[in-house]
Amino acid sequence: MYQFDQIIDRRGYSSKWDKPLYPVAQDKPLIPMWIADMDFATPPCVTDAIRQRLEHPTFGYCDTDPRFAQAVVDWARARRGVTDLKPEYVQCQNSTVGAIVAAIKTLTQPGEGVLVHLPNYTGFTYGIADAGRRLVGTPLVRDEQGVFRMDLADMEEKIRAEKIRCLILCSPHNPTGRVWTQQELEQVSELCEKYGVYIISDEVWADFVFAPARQIATALATDYTRSHTIATYGATKTFNLAGLRAAYSIVYDDQLRAAYQKKSAENHYNVPNTLSVAAVIGAYTGGGEYADQLVAYIYENMKAAHEYICREIPQVASYLPEGTYTLWLDFGGTGLSDEEAMKRMGAQGLVMSPASEYNGSGWFRMNMACPRSQVEQALKALKAALA
Ligand SMILES: Cc1ncc(COP(=O)(O)O)c(C=O)c1O
């Protein structure tokens, strides 16, 4: 069994612990539940692979180890039942956001709009702006059960009005935790096909899905999505490797992949890092059991937090997500502005990500990828903050 209950002092090694998003009381222990990395140890299959690479004393230019793409193929088959992925469809990328920016530049011209579901991951906001494109938001709307759904009519209107040629999908969706179903992806596919829209599908959270939800690669939803999708992934979320920068893309269509590869090489930064490549090979060849136990542990954290919030903090509405390792909490019932809520939580040492980070308001995202004792501490602090 992996020791997910173990407390690791990350101070000095972690943005989450060293640079809280907003001011916190100095006389209280810090409880950082914001940025999306984990407070768990990376498993030995990763650290051993890095150590083994270090045994060779040269670190000069080298081609990406072919075991990298094969490890991605094997992981996709084992974890998500993907059977038709070939190593040549996989390209090593320095970071997911960098890969997305290159995809935006491949599919659109400066000044054009990129369609994005709101609320959206911060990286899309900056990535689109820094690429000189415009973020065109289409809100996710909640149905009678409180489930976030795409508004297809609004998407179509925006596609038409803004002459959209590129949609960013995120599945599992950060921050709402939705995992798009086959039916939803088919609807998106139909709409995109009608207007010739390409899809960038960010699936960096693909390993964090809770049954009965199932992650379906957007590219595999329909024939259209297969030939019109640039998908981005990383081992970074699952194995806590964000500091190593270790992402990759998957593009099935030969022509699209060639155009994308050309564009993603243009910044001359996007060269695989030798140790990241070793880490990903180690993770994907030996990390299956770790990933199973990790996802199960996190789901127990989610359930414990959800039940506590429903019982003890009823002014906050909590929903169990289908994927990711974060809870997306509705603060509407607290009557507090986001600023006031942050002030109160900061006074308790608690840091969560406000919806303003995601082009929204009135919600907070709580990171559950930490030891259960920290979750319990955070919940008590939240209750005290809102009392
Ligand atoms: C949806 C999504 N994409 C990408 C990233 C970041 O990936 P990277 O660090 O590889 O750029 C995150 C991090 O939280 C994320 O939530």
Ligand 1 mean position to 175 CA, how many Å?
Answer: 11
What dotted CATH number matches 49-286? 3.40.640.10
Closest atom, ligand 1, to C-alpha of 324: 16
Beta pairing class for 113-118 and 90-93: unpaired
Q: Domain residue spans in the chain? A: 15-43+288-385, 49-286
Name the band, by pLDDT with cuts 50, 70 and 90, for residue 24: very high
How many C-beta neighbours within 10 Å does residue 122 have?
A: 18
Closest atom, ligand 1, to C-alpha of 36: 14
Average pLDDT for 98-127: 98
Site to probe by mutation for ligand 1, drawn from 34, 35, 121 as the one with most ligand atoms within 8 Å of Cβ, is 121
Please give the pLDDT value at position 63: 87
Closest atom, ligand 1, to C-alpha of 95: 10
Ligand 1 mean position to 214 CA, how many Å?
Answer: 20
In angstroms, the CA 387 to CA 376 distance is: 17
DSSP secondary structure letter of residue 26: T
Ligand 1 mean position to 366 CA, how many Å?
Answer: 16
**Record: fold of 15-43+288-385:** Aspartate Aminotransferase, domain 1 (3.90.1150)
* Residues forming beta bridges with residue 328, ordered by sequence position: 365
| Nearest CA-CA partner of 175 in 380, 362, 377 | 362
Contact 312, 379 (CB under 8 A): yes
Site to probe by mutation for ligand 1, drawn from 34, 96, 276, 368 as the one with most ligand atoms within 8 Å of Cβ, is 96
Contact 353, 346 (CB under 8 A): no
Q: Is the pLDDT of residue 179 over 90?
A: yes
Q: Is the pLDDT of residue 78 over 90?
A: yes
Task: Give the model confidence (pLDDT) of 33-54 as tens digits.
Answer: 999 999 999 999 999 999 999 9
Average pLDDT for 178-200: 98
* Residues forming beta bridges with residue 231, ordered by sequence position: 201, 250
Residues 6 or more apart in contact with residue 341 via CB below 8 angstroms: 331, 334, 354, 364, 385, 386
Take residue 19 and report the two structure tokens written for it. Answer: 């640079």
In angstroms, the CA 277 to CA 275 distance is: 5
Query: Which protein residues touch ligand 1 with a CB less than 6 Å away?
Result: 36, 95-97, 121, 123, 170, 174, 202, 204, 234, 236, 242, 247
| Nearest CA-CA partner of 316 in 234, 235, 386 | 386
What percent of the chain shows pLDDT beyond 70? 100
Residue type, 85: L
Average pLDDT, the chain: 97
Q: Is the pLDDT of residue 64 over 90?
A: no
CA dihedral (220, 290, 242, 138) positive or negative: positive
Q: Is 350 helix (H, G, I), strand (E, B) or coil?
A: strand
Ligand 1 mean position to 97 CA, how many Å?
Answer: 6
Rounded to 5°, angle at Cα 354 from 351 and 356? 150
In angstroms, the CA 77 to CA 59 distance is: 31
Please give the pLDDT value at position 197: 98
Is 285 buried (19+), middle (13-18) or exposed (0-12) by CB count in 10 A? middle
Take residue 241 and report the two structure tokens written for it. Answer: 């490797």
Beta pairing class for 247-250 and 90-93: antiparallel
Please give the pLDDT value at position 272: 86
Site to probe by mutation for ligand 1, drawn from 126, 202, 204, 366 as the one with most ligand atoms within 8 Å of Cβ, is 204
Ligand 1 mean position to 58 CA, how many Å?
Answer: 31
